[in-house]
Amino acid sequence: MTMQGVKHLFVDTNILIFATNSASPWHQVAMDALQAARRQGVELVVSPQILREYLAAATRPGSAGETLPLDAILANVRTFQANFRLVEENALVSARLVDLVSQVAVGGKQIHDANIVATMQTYGLPTC
């Protein structure tokens, strides 16, 4: 997998779930994508929302194959915190979210995805 011209890659929750759960049918694909990005010098980026979503999804019984032990899930989050760039949700992200919601017809659970878009736009991260 080549990521020419990509300097930063915002990593979504599903990729983290797939990469950390060997029971997932997408485990190897997710691992390969993350490893390829690292090899090519692409900075991996997450937000606090992604870490919260990872914790919620990884601790939900039967969410993506076998549920990992809590110790392993917490160790994964610590690994993400240590090895990925963590961009903060701040006043600029909140303002961008409000702008997006006023421009695009979204609601309900879609607001969470709109917040990810707002975070990426605020930090100039075009790739997810």
Asked if 18 and 26 touch (Cβ cutoff 8 Å), the reply is: yes
Query: What digits encode the pLDDT tens for the residues 39-55?
Result: 999 999 999 999 999 99
The candidate with the shortest Cα–Cα distance to 92, out of 72, 71, 68, 122, is: 122
Give residue limits of the domains in the chain: 8-88
Residue 61 pLDDT: 81
Domain 8-88: CATH superfamily is 5'-nuclease (3.40.50.1010)
Distances 14 to 8, 95, 96 between C-alpha atoms, Å: 18, 26, 24
What is the widest separation between alpha-carbon atoms in the chain? Answer: 42
Residue 1 pLDDT: 53
Residue 23 pLDDT: 86
Residue 67 pLDDT: 79
Residue 3 pLDDT: 63
The DSSP secondary structure of the chain, one letter per residue, reads: ---TT--EEEPPHHHHHHHH-TTSTTHHHHHHHHHHHHHTTPEEEE-HHHHHHHHHHHTSTTSSSSPPPHHHHHHHHHHHHHHSEEPPP-HHHHHHHHHHHHHS---TTHHHHHHHHHHHHHTT----
User: Average pLDDT, stretch 16-30?
Assistant: 94
Tokens of 63: 């969410």
Q: Mean pLDDT over all residues of the chain? A: 91
